């Protein structure tokens, strides 16, 4: 693994455990379940930045590099990649490790999730607004 494992002292946007209900017929975890966890994790950061409702508009550059097993601890780490006018793109890395400590954490997938800040009528609104200083940080 060429990547450095994220510092586990810093909080991931989301941490959960892969359960039997999330497995496919081979006993490995469904990619679709992982993708939904990553969408949720990215949405947490995008919502903080936008300070408004958000909606996922695009998911790009997803790559699954290693399987996740039932019982693994799954952590999604998020980083703002780009803030546009109404959109925020978040890079999400997902790492898994055995909950019993049998192996160290490995990066299992990563992807680029883009969210649009929306108002109550679901219309796009600027991410950076006079009332929203958070997005600039
Ligand atoms: C989100 C939504 C309100 C945006 O409205 P829209 O009229 O399509 O938005 P726009 O075309 O004005 O684009 C909005 C932003 O998204 C960006 N965008 C559009 N398509 C994109 C794509 N394929 N990839 C990345 N960004 C994209 C635009 O560049 C724009 O960003 P900017 O303002 O920072 O430049 C609307 O598309 C929607 O409701 N989609 C469904 C959302 C949803 O239900 N998601 C869950 C899926 S189950």
Convert the pLDDT of each residue in 19-61 to its tens digit.
999 999 888 999 999 999 999 999 999 999 999 999 999 999 8
Dist. CA 50 → ligand 1 center (Å) = 14
Dist. CA 66 → ligand 1 center (Å) = 30
- Judge if the beta carbon of residue 19 lies within 6 A of ligand 1: no
pLDDT of 103 above 90: no
**Residue-level pLDDT at 107:** 94
Structural domains in the chain plus CATH codes: 14-136 (3.10.129.10)
pTM: 0.92
Closest listed residue to residue 3, CA positions, set 113, 93, 112, 97: 93
């Amino acid at each position: 693994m060429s990547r450095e494992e994220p510092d586990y002292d810093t909080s991931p946007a989301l941490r959960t455990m892969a359960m039997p209900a999330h497995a496919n017929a081979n006993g490995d975890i469904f990619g679709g379940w992982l993708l939904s966890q990553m969408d949720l994790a990215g949405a947490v950061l995008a919502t903080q930045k936008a300070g408004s409702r958000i909606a996922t508009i695009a998911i790009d550059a997803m790559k699954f590099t290693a399987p996740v097993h039932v019982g693994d601890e799954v952590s999604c780490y998020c980083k703002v990649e780009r803030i546009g006018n109404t959109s925020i793109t978040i890079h999400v890395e997902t790492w898994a490790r055995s909950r019993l400590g049998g192996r160290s954490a490995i990066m299992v997938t990563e992807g680029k999730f883009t969210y649009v800040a929306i108002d109550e009528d679901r219309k796009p609104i600027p991410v950076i607004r006079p009332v929203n200083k958070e997005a600039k940080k």
